[in-house]
């Protein structure tokens, strides 16, 4: 059981790091930057995976009425807040504003979806 949890976390960590790297490449360093080293990217990905596993479920539960009323679109704002939270926790990740964080959340979500589909087929 612990081994399964560890593998899920490592997978989330890798996907979060990959998603941040792709999002920073698409959005540009003026809007989203994860530093200039792989270590900075991995640390930011670690914090994003940790925040998504620990804080995001509580935030989704607390904002459930807003998620329902917006037909799920409020989840984009929640994803953006998770990225902003990592920006506030870890100075190696720079996010210009909430709008950029929401766009990064969309990109990271797409990367997560694609990686999940690829791993599902293996």
pLDDT in tens, 20-59: 999 999 999 999 999 889 999 999 999 999 999 999 999 9
Domain that holds residue 31: 2-121
Please report the pLDDT score of residue 1 as a whole number.
Answer: 83
CB neighbour list of residue 51: distance below 8 Å, 6 or more residues apart: 82, 85, 86, 89
Distance CA 41, CA 87 (A): 12
Distance CA 99, CA 18 (A): 20
SS (H, E, C) 33-52: ECCCCHHHHHHHHHHHHHHH
How many domains, in total, are found in the chain? 1
């Amino acid at each position: 059981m612990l081994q399964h949890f560890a593998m899920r976390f490592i997978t989330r960590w890798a996907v979060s790091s990959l998603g941040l790297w792709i999002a920073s490449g698409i959005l540009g360093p003026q809007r989203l930057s994860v530093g200039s080293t792989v270590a900075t990217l991995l640390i930011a990905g670690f914090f994003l995976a940790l925040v998504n596993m620990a804080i995001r479920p509580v935030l989704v539960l607390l904002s459930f009425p807003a998620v329902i009323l917006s037909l799920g679109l409020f989840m984009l704002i929640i994803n953006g807040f998770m990225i902003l939270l990592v920006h506030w926790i870890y100075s190696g990740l720079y996010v210009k504003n909430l709008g950029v964080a929401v766009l990064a959340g969309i990109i990271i979500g797409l990367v997560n979806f694609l990686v999940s589909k690829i791993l599902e087929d293996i």
